[in-house]
Structure 1
Amino acid sequence: MNKTLAVTAIGEIVTGLALVAIPALVGELLLGEALVGVAAAAARVAGIALIGLGVACWRSRPLEGMLFYSTVVALYLAYLGLGGGLMGVLLWPAVVLHTVLSVLLARAWLRGAAE
């Protein structure tokens, strides 16, 4: 595997984990303003996407990266709708869409593991 790609993937995963865990601090350090409220929720979705990108690039596993992203973002958006106090008109359709995509991706991943 290309070492540059591996280092980049690790960097994206670490950045994604920081955005998920402490979005306010990451915003403060990067942009000079804390990310709060809706900005923190959006930063967490971006963090989940960065982790998925890192997983996809790590050892060339795009299916696993997309499966990770779609599953975790479906769970996080559902959490926001059920207990996070944030809910727009497209929240639940997005949860359903990502859940369906996660099931399809999981089936493809399991088929590939069985081969």
Structure 2
Amino acid sequence: MKTFITAAALALATLTSFAQEATRAPEFDNFVSMRTRAEVRAELQAALAGGWRPSQGEASYAPEFEKIASTRTRADARAEVLAAIARGERLSYGEAGPDPLQTQRIRANSAATLAARPTTSAQ
């Protein structure tokens, strides 16, 4: 019984140590801007017109990927998929793939559908 009470007391003491008080930042209490709202808006409009874009979280603007052009044709990619299906490779359906019995039917239908479609010229 003493062990249980000791463990509970330690757990309670440990958990409460993470609690913090939300402290105010007094340096922002009397903040006065040096620019007007119109000046800030004009600066933002000029930046947007110049090509600047604000970051959008994890899906931010990535200039290193902007000018990438594919060197493969559509026919090459299609032939690669058909070859993978013919070898029996499982196509990726994301995190929630179909059950194994459906996979066989989908693989057969995919191969037949892709083979039946006419190829188009490269973009």
TM-score (norm 2): 0.27
TM-score (norm 1): 0.29
Higher-Rg structure is 2
